[in-house]
Structure 1
């Protein structure tokens, strides 16, 4: 629909792709009801989304009181998913739930057939009958809104859904009536280490049998996608929730066996098992060892080979893309040393990851800079919303000037940088080859849980961008800036002093988290490319002028975990964070410099402050925000905080892993 120009509307962004429509009072139109505190007008509570291509067109998709805000802060709009599930011939009513929880679920009322809720097999059969529609709903939903089969709750015949006029379901009344059942479902799922009749355990605990069984479980959790056993699960649609469910199924299968040794082995399954063994073959091998050997032998095997294997994995991936790079250099030939602009003095920038935390500040800085004639913002495609919508939302969140996004010199490109020719059509690819003078590669997956193999798409994307730069038709190749991290030096022996501003050839310096190791590999690639390339190793970037952090950064994770644990760590160290806008300015100085910068630069804060000076105000703000007693969230010694973390990790449920996400960050943070 399109609203008339005479109507004054305020569109209030909801933190995703949705906006609430608020009708403001004017001299011409007086609202019959005024329910807003800051201005005269009527907040409709109706949620709309913009048309992806036609400015001024809107579609209503639900109401604010229908939105499910999860414990993570992410928002699910149920209307569309409920509509798809309701299309099943076996369904009479559908209501999604999950407000304040870690995941969503759905309450389904069968249309005719009676389902014996005391019979697990009957429940599973009904879930399977409606699974096609649930799966279709999941395909059109963001990852955090997906409904797992375990989260389908069926109504009781003697307690049908409440309905109002015209047969419309009364959501609040129905959910209130099923409050006890919903709480029980979450308790069951969060502690879901029991295999029901619907999921048979493997017939034996050999590697070959486990591969087949794990593949079946993973395929179901990946929503029907056929899982390839030797490919990273997280590249095939898995996320932390899927990993938690798979781990719980493994534990449940072990506990379902009468063998006491096998039951004992269930207690030795680590909470991050799937992250440590991210494909089916690795997972089957690890589970078979845990099932068949005493814990001491398993620990010794893992410990003895970990360092060697990690270094070998880095070198193997580096060797793979270095060989491809040598071939592409032969194909493209060589250019003379580049400068930041063409002969005509035009600086044309290709920026990846502009919708990210740092990327948004880089984009704003580039758009305001008069030396920059054009900016291509390359981001991956999203099913949930178009890149312009995501970029606007990020700018609004960080209080950046949204008007900059309407400048003619900005061109958005949605493509898969990991694909050949960056996933671009021939015309766009040639346009970039003929015009781009600076490439700033900022896009990178930020997840400290994942192993190196999960970051291979990022490494491959770096290679494709290097290939693009080498194929430039300009007199000189583009200047290439890779946004790296101090994590690429996570294995550095600090007794040797500060990490040098050059590229280290010993891969041992990068052994640690998959995130840091992948950054190291990319550094080595761009350095050996022959381009005028610089890797910028960034320290921690804090929130911008309005304090907005990226929620996946480790500090918000630490704060969230401390809140769940009920204690903050008293860290005796120093903080050297940098404001995002200052980092952005430093990067642009390097990008637009007249002379070629060095191959590596360490960008860190020159004046660190103590941790307590940072953590105490944060703790106080959390206490005030949550309206907790002043004595809440005390500071404890770091060793005590870590011990509490490890104790909770021993029997961590899915709920724990969502609330206390520092579990899988401990090695990265150096705890």
Structure 2
């Protein structure tokens, strides 16, 4: 096959840019076979700006060639490697000397390792174990000269690891330094290898008579593809695995260099170490090797840096830590052109300190399996040393996979086709690095290393904590030799410290004290669940034995296994017994001080003695920490303190009173009953102002305020409202720090529920998102915005509520109960003739304890009828407040009790983290489902939304309605049978058997999400109590909301849809998902700016761009220029060419996506383009640009005049007539309203495109 150069596609012409060091370091050189049919495609399809070139013929073909060529050059007498004779007394060696040394050492080794004289001779794998000294370097050069492969063995791995590597690579010989003779004897008995000593200086320095090798006749092309080195992984999660590197791959890697005199502290058996050495040789620049006989200390590093003209330091982070501890070390680093580290992450405090002192610190990122990938090379003014940047030619081979929606944490995946890729672990032959990154908040294509996927600590509540940050902070302290965070499947994280040998601290407490201020600062920079409390820092003995990787870092998994008892001890409370007795104000002051240590409050004044802590954002992990602090310090009279102590006593006063009662042994006070507390809250929020009738008619149409749009029900409500002709505006009040973030959250919510694609441009214009704070009287809105709402609002649909079943009643007051009251006030502030109408979404749990068999559509006779949890009680409180508002002011304030909401009827979308879907998932993770004797009543979310919208507009005299499906079903007889019919395979078992199986199932909540709800399921089902069968009257609801009657019996169609949704979207592990390349179609009628948007997005996201119009035939363009629409027969051929061009672009570039412009006005045209998914592992998405007729005509006319484009304004009318709105199933379409500023449209499309591609 003919070869062609692989283009790196850029979406814009005439690209000029200066060479970037990231490009230099990450530019491979490859040649690919020409894809069939490429030559026939029009050259306009893709604009190219740069091309990967072939290797020049004069370049070396293998490692041996490289040494020989450098020895024959004019500069062969210039030093290229320096190694100490002793201490830091360096001797310089030229390429000519290295070549001569290798020429003399090779015959020495040929006595027991046969030389290959022909490319048909077998290649042997030769293990090399020893310190990275000159003998080591000459040995590896000699083995290469003999034509064999070197297996680099770390000096820091276990006997088991050595045996595994030697056996798996079929090594024939093991060359061992004297220092490792005892290990070699252990290995020899378990491997069929010949053990031989590494040569010494006298074997190659010319002091012995020289013996020459016979001439070898090796084919350069064959040798080029042979394996040069075998490096191995660190073995941090198991035994190390071999990674094979060819001569060709290595030479491409070594050709990328900085061209600076260097100093390397990394061992040569490390991938970064051997690469740095040979990059120096390739670039003809001198490199100093650290003396392998010396410990890595600051004095030794300083001595070399001071004595020699070094420009770049290649170091492990530990070396940087040592130098950062002295002013002299920092100054030396700042004097270098560049400081580059690798091997592990550099602690952020150290990097920040060095960068602030003028050090150009560059993070290097690469893997043994992929080669060098990214660096943080940048201008000196840019201080973001820890954000690596991919070069342009690397970007098409990167895929960033977000770990959880909205988490901002991505795993890096390298795609097939990257030339240095030597390993794959995905079905599409990509390599998932298991390295996690977070994107820079403002700089595009800049990524900070976050953690290893294996390192992430999954807490017992499913939250994922990054241990590296706090470990790095601790390791910065000179008194700490090692730090390791722990806490997997525990309520909070802890930290083990191993003291440095030189520590001056006399006690463990003193050691912890030296790092605590730094830990406190680091706590401010991480999520609440990742924060470390002082009591969870545990100091271990200096002489503790623990396993390390070849890089010298602790093997996390092995440490957790070997020292699991230490971890368990850290969480035991048996020894917690404080003795301090505090009372009154002293006790309150103690509780306040401890709480402020644990939780952050933007406004300290909000923390009053009686303030509900959970209304201020205190979470469950902070509650655990506060409880533990109390137990460690205070005398509680030997009494048991409830695990939910803070939840049960959620204010400083309540905690102080309960602690005093426990210590003194006093009987519990006759506190107000929950019903009395509910009544008090009702009274507190039921004094309403009267509405003042305005004389303003207000703008035409309904103007509806909606809360909860980021939830499932709210999303469906919004989607239905904006599509109604009678509705002019929908205001979404959203908890968000800015309008932009709020808009993004609402859009994502509607897209996740598969309702956004059906919105027209006019519907999108009705949608306004406002960031709000419900606890504030004016909802956190500015006076201007609040006044605008008062003048416009006609109705309020209040769907938002905190869903936390652990919180007590009072914890719902600030945001929820008071928030509902503030929305009532908004209704009453209306300047229209009548107040705005309110529909409050309550819950059937508010009346779940109603006596008898039927709950009426009215307020219950007693507040005790609410289910026994704060959530239900707060809902019932608000029901009463709403009805009192109606009675006192005459406003319409309807209570809408909503029952169990399930998947929608169209797409089957259902939140997989809810309890019922979690039960279903155990069919997959446990293989069983419980046989429950329950008769649920389920209502699809879209039917609830329709009914809710109808109830707001209804004139029916119904103050309270039960919006729940009148039809029920039996869990076991009906539902389980339908689940099996829908394709779920499971065993039906008794509920306690099911619990037992769940209890012993995989404890990892990532692989087995239902395990997170084990306690909830146990409380609900680990009993013999029969469930109560309570029905709800629905006559008023059906009168107010006719859609409710369409819910009907549970159907196979609905069950099939939500099972398919779960299986296709929620229950596949990331390892099983095969990532796809995406065809991103910018669609829409002429004049919407398809080309403008597509070129901008392709440039910003660095993707290839295919201009659809370029693939029309000349005849078709002429026909359209005359205002004659194309026939479908012409369109099918055009769409086929588009599909082919898109597929070939993706196959050629291996990029994550390609941008294509195509009008795609009708569903059949979009379906035709969707056929591209049958031509490869491709996905397709449509961004449908929309606009008004007059505006589109204007734009088209301007373009025709200024650019001579063949599309004329007359074509707009025809295209708008042809345009078909996306159908229900077309969830791959995202509508974009383009009747706004170009930069706003481009920014919106870019944001959506990035979301689609991650």
Question: Offset of 1:102 from its aligned partner?
Answer: 4.1
Q: 1:549 pairs with 892, 911, 917, which one?
A: 911
Q: Which residue of 2 aligns with 1:230?
A: 610
8 Å Cα contact 2:693-2:834 kept in structure 1: no
The CA deviation at 1:662 is 5.8
Contact 1:311 1:511 in 2 (8 A): no
How far apart, in 2, do the equivalents of 1:560 and 1:194 lie? 40
| Rounded Cα–Cα distance in structure 1 between residues aligned with 2:482 and 2:1019 | 40
- SS of structure 1 residue aligned to 2:947: helix
Q: Secondary structure at the match of 1:601?
A: strand
Per-residue CA deviation, residues 25-84 of structure 1 (Å, 9 max, x unaligned), is 69xx88956847565655555545567689x66644435625444443333345566666
Does residue 577 of the first structure (1) align with residue 938 of the second (2)?
yes
Alpha-carbon distance between aligned partners in 1 of 2:923 and 2:970, rounded to the nearest angstrom: 19
Structure 2 vs 1, CA of residues 469 and 223 (structure 1 numbering), >3 Å: closer, same or farther? closer
Paired position in structure 2 for 1:242: 622
Q: Report whether the alignment pairs 1:473 with 2:836.
A: no
1:456, distance to aligned residue in structure 2 (A): 0.6
Residues 310-329 of structure 1, C-alpha deviations (whole Å, 9 max, x = no match): 12211211211113xx2xx2
Match of 2:692 among 314, 326, 333: 333
Q: Say which SS state the counterpart of residue 444 (structure 1) adopts.
A: coil
CA distance change for structure 1 residues 228 and 604 in 2, over 3 Å: closer, same or farther? same
Deviation of residue 573 (structure 1)? Answer: 3.0
Q: Distance in 2 between matches of 1:562 and 1:230?
A: 46
Distance 1:360 1:401 in 2: 9
8 Å contact kept, 2:934–2:1027: no
Structure 1 residue aligned with 2:819: 461
Deviation string, structure 1 residues 436-471 (Cα, Å, up to 9, x no partner):
333221111111221111001111111222222222
Give 1:121-270 correspondences, 5 Å limit. 122-154=507-539, 156-159=541-544, 170=553, 173-174=555-556, 176-177=558-559, 179-181=561-563, 183-195=564-576, 200-203=578-581, 210-222=587-599, 228-248=608-628, 262-263=637-638, 265-266=639-640, 269-270=641-642
The partner residue of 2:401 within 3, 8, 12 is 12
Partners of 1:368 and 1:108 in 2: how far apart? 60
- Cα gap change, 1:508 to 1:162, in 2 (>3 Å): closer
Q: 1:509 to 1:389 in 2, by over 3 A?
A: same
Paired residues for 1:98-109 under 5 Å: 98-108=487-497
Partner of 2:898: 538
What is the root-mean-square deviation of aligned Cα atoms in Å? 5.0
Between 244-253 and 411-420, report the one with greater CA deviation: 244-253
The 8 Å contact of residues 715 and 750 in structure 2, kept in 1 or not, is answered as: yes
8 Å contact from structure 2 (residues 808, 870) kept in 1: yes
Contact 2:704 2:730 in 1 (8 A): yes
**Counterpart contact for 1:12–1:19, Cα < 8 Å:** yes
Unaligned runs of 5+ in 2: 1-388, 1000-1010, 1029-1254
Q: Classify the secondary structure of the residue corresponding to 2:878.
A: helix
Aligned length: 605
Q: Secondary structure at the match of 1:660?
A: helix
Q: What is the CA–CA distance in structure 1 between the aligned matches of 2:652 and 2:925, rounded to whole Å? A: 32
Q: For residues 585 and 250 of structure 1, what CA distance do their matches in structure 2 show?
A: 50
The Cα of 1:422 is off from its aligned counterpart by 0.8
> Are positions 1:283 and 2:655 aligned together?
yes
**How far, CA to CA, are the matches of 2:933 and 2:614 in structure 1?**
36
TM-score by length of 2: 0.42
Work out which of the residue numbers 72, 78, 85 in structure 1 matches 2:461: 72
Kindly provide the CA deviation profile for residues 127-152 of structure 1, in whole angstroms up to 9, marking residues without a partner as x. 44433333333333333333333333
> How far has the Cα of 1:272 moved from its partner?
3.0
2:780 maps to what in 1? Answer: 423
- Deviation per residue, 1:179-230 (Å, 9 max, x gap): 444x33542354324327xxx43326x6666545544544444369976432
Confirm or deny that 1:314 pairs with 2:695.
no
1:606 CA drift (Å): 1.7
Higher RCO (CA-CA < 8 Å; seq separation 6+):
1
Contact 1:567–1:634 (Cα < 8 Å) also in 2: no
Q: How far 1:393 sits from its partner (Å)?
A: 5.8
1:403, 1:154 → 2: CA distance?
A: 59
State the alpha-carbon separation in 1 of the partners of residues 460 and 940 from structure 2: 28
- Counterpart Cα distance in 1 of 2:1018 and 2:628: 16
Match of 1:604 in 2: 964
Task: State the secondary structure of the residue aligned to 1:135.
Answer: helix
Report deviation, 1:583.
1.9
- Give distance in 1, aligned partners of 2:980 and 2:552: 43
Q: Distance in 1 between matches of 2:473 and 2:703?
A: 45
Confirm or deny: 8 A CA contact 1:272 1:664 kept in the other structure: no
Change (3 A) 1:9 1:603: farther
CA contact (8 A) 2:500 2:542 kept: no
Match of 2:879? Answer: 523
Match of 1:353 among 692, 705, 708: 708
- Residues 363 and 95 of structure 1, relative CA distance in 2, 3 Å threshold: farther
Secondary structure of the equivalent of 1:376?
A: strand
1:642-666 Cα shifts (integer Å, max 9, x gaps) = xx9xxxxxxxxxxx99851468889
Greater shift in the superposed pair: 540-549 or 105-114: 105-114
- The change in CA–CA distance for 1:462 and 1:107 in structure 2 (over 3 A counts) is same
Distance in 2 (CA, whole Å) between partners of 1:131 and 1:453 is 35
Residues 570 and 86 (structure 1 numbering): CA distance in 2 closer, same or farther, change over 3 Å?
Answer: same
Work out which of the two has the higher radius of gyration on C-alpha atoms and give 1 or 2.
2
Matched residues in 2 for 1:211 and 1:567: separation?
A: 50
Deviation at 1:333, TM superposition (A): 1.9
CA distance in 1, matches of 2:436, 2:818: 39
Quote how far apart the aligned CAs of 1:417 are: 1.7
Q: What secondary structure does 1:483 align onto?
A: strand
Cα offset, 1:23, TM superposition: 6.0
1:194 touches 1:249 (CA, 8 Å); kept in 2?
no
Q: Would you say the 8 A contact 1:351–1:377 is kept in 2?
A: yes
Partner of 1:487: 845
Q: Which moved more, 1:221-230 or 1:273-282?
A: 221-230
User: More displaced, 413-422 or 521-530?
Assistant: 521-530
Q: Could you tell me how far 1:576 is from its partner in structure 2?
A: 1.4
Q: Is the 8 A contact 1:560 1:659 kept in 2?
A: no
Q: Distance in 1 between matches of 2:945 and 2:757?
A: 17
- Deviation string for 1:339-358 (max 9, x for gaps)? xx97633x333222222343
1:492-532 Cα deviation digits (max 9, x unpaired): 3x22x532323357534447321112112222223333432
Q: Structure 1: any 5+ residue segments left out of the alignment?
A: 645-655
Q: Which of 421, 430, 438 is equivalent to 2:795?
A: 438
In 2, are the aligned partners of 1:61 and 1:79 still within 8 Å (CA)?
no
> Per the alignment, in what secondary structure is the counterpart of residue 895 of structure 2?
strand
For the 8 Å contact 2:715–2:746, the answer to whether it is kept is yes
- Return the offset for 1:233: 2.5
Change over 3 Å in CA distance of 1:355–1:514 after alignment to 2: same
Distance 1:201 1:401 in 2: 60
